[in-house]
Amino acid sequence: MLIERSHNAEQLWAALLPHVPAPETRQFVIWASRFTDPQIERALMRTHRKFAPSAPPQEATTIHRYVTGLLLNLEREQTLTKLLMAESELAEIAANLAGQT
């Protein structure tokens, strides 16, 4: 499953960023082991928009780090969203309990 997911990410890179050398396979495996497929897809889509062939050229390692940064930001956003939802649910439970007494 992990190898398949990392391979899918490599294929997406090739489709979206053919003008940028891809990171080593190991990097795709690392991304696939930590991040969800939608997060990887979203990060690669954003990278595609930012580093289109018409954009000023960048070092490949700069673009690789940019993707990793996007993935970390997406992970933090998702964690924060989950925490806010849990907090909201707890507040609702507390309100319901207060109304029962």
Taking the domains of the chain in order of start, what are their residue ranges?
Answer: 2-100
Q: Which DSSP string corresponds to the chain?
A: -HHHHHHHHHHHHHHH-TTSPPPPHHHHHHHHHHS-HHHHHHHHHHHHHHT-TTSPP--HHHHHHHHHHHHHHHHHHHHHHHHHHHHHHHHHHHHHHHHH-
Distance CA 15, CA 47 (A): 12
Residue with tokens 């924060």: 80
Report the interhelical angle of 25-34 vs 2-16 (nearest 10°). Answer: 120
- pLDDT at residue 101 is higher than 70: no
pLDDT mean over 69-88 = 86
Band (pLDDT 50/70/90 cuts) for residue 68 is: very high
pLDDT tens track for 21-64: 999 999 999 999 999 999 999 999 999 999 988 878 899 999 99
Q: What is the pTM of this model?
A: 0.78
